[in-house]
Structure 1
Amino acid sequence: MENRSITRKNPKSVPAPVGQYTHITKIPRNAELYVTSGQVGVSAEGNFPKGLNDQVSNTFSNIKSVLDSEALSAEHVIKVNVWATEEIDWDHFYSEWGNLFNTEYPSMTIGYLTALGLPEIKIEIEIWAAKP
């Protein structure tokens, strides 16, 4: 019988993740795939806070809204790409991350860049999700 759920694992042959993510996320055959544009730290009023932590909080709020719009939840998220223009405060980031993902961590890539699409954007997070 075919497994129809998203599965996550960290192979014993690979060093443990250095953060709250999973090395492998497997999507069942014929799952519906969702790819978001990068979500940024703009507030509901259209403003960008000056501080990175405030932008991180807004970004996760925006991600939650995008997921909700398609009846998706954190369990459907399979891959997260994070880009930031300054060093991330990992305590704050993982607090927001944990609020969304609890302990079902998706695969993740993080990169630091000198700039994003607008000068006021300090973080951008792209989500890939699948619904079996």
Structure 2
Amino acid sequence: MTNNTITRRNPEGMPSPVGHYTHITRIPRNAELFVTSGQIGVDIDGCLPENMNEQIRNTFRNIKAVLHAEECAAEHIVKVNIWAVEKIDWDYLYAEWDQLFGGNYPAMTIGYLAELGLPEIKIEIEIWAAKA
């Protein structure tokens, strides 16, 4: 490990993660930090599907687009915050998640809320990324 490398790990003495995440991500000094607004499941035409899994699919598309705009990719993501208003279909979300991360997972927090910014939004995902 060099001082200019983003590293992810699960320290010894900690229980294994209960999901697809890593307990700690180290961001090297002088890394460039990117923080997204919460990405939602609206499509390119501005339509927000009613179905949660369709919103998840669009949300991941939007995450990839916003990262691409800054020449970032999944390996630059250091933290993900997921907010949802109804039960998440984890099999579906993790399929999208694994397609993005391929097993090299960032730190993650998940919260269920009564509502998000608009009543039709079912899930919102915030990304923190860093380039060393």
TM-score by length of 2: 0.98
1:120 equivalent in structure 2: 120
Shift in Å at residue 2 of structure 1? 4.9
Q: Which runs of 5+ in 2 are unaligned?
A: none
Q: Alpha-carbon deviations, 1:11-68, whole Å to 9, x = none?
A: 1211000000000000001000000000000011101101100000000000000000
C-alpha separation in 2, matches of 1:66 and 1:99: 17
1:1-132 matches, within 5 Å, as 2-132=2-132
- Per-residue CA distance 1:53-94 (angstroms, 9 max, x = gap): 000000000000000000000000000000000000000000
Equivalents in 2 of 1:72, 1:128: separation in Å? Answer: 11
- Paired-residue identity, %: 64
SS at match of 1:40: coil
Structure 1 residue runs of 4 or more that deviate by more than 4 Å after TM superposition: none
Q: Tell me, in whole angstroms, the C-alpha distance in 1 between the residues paired with 2:2 and 2:99.
A: 31
Letter in 2 for 1:118: L
Gaps of 5+ in 1: none
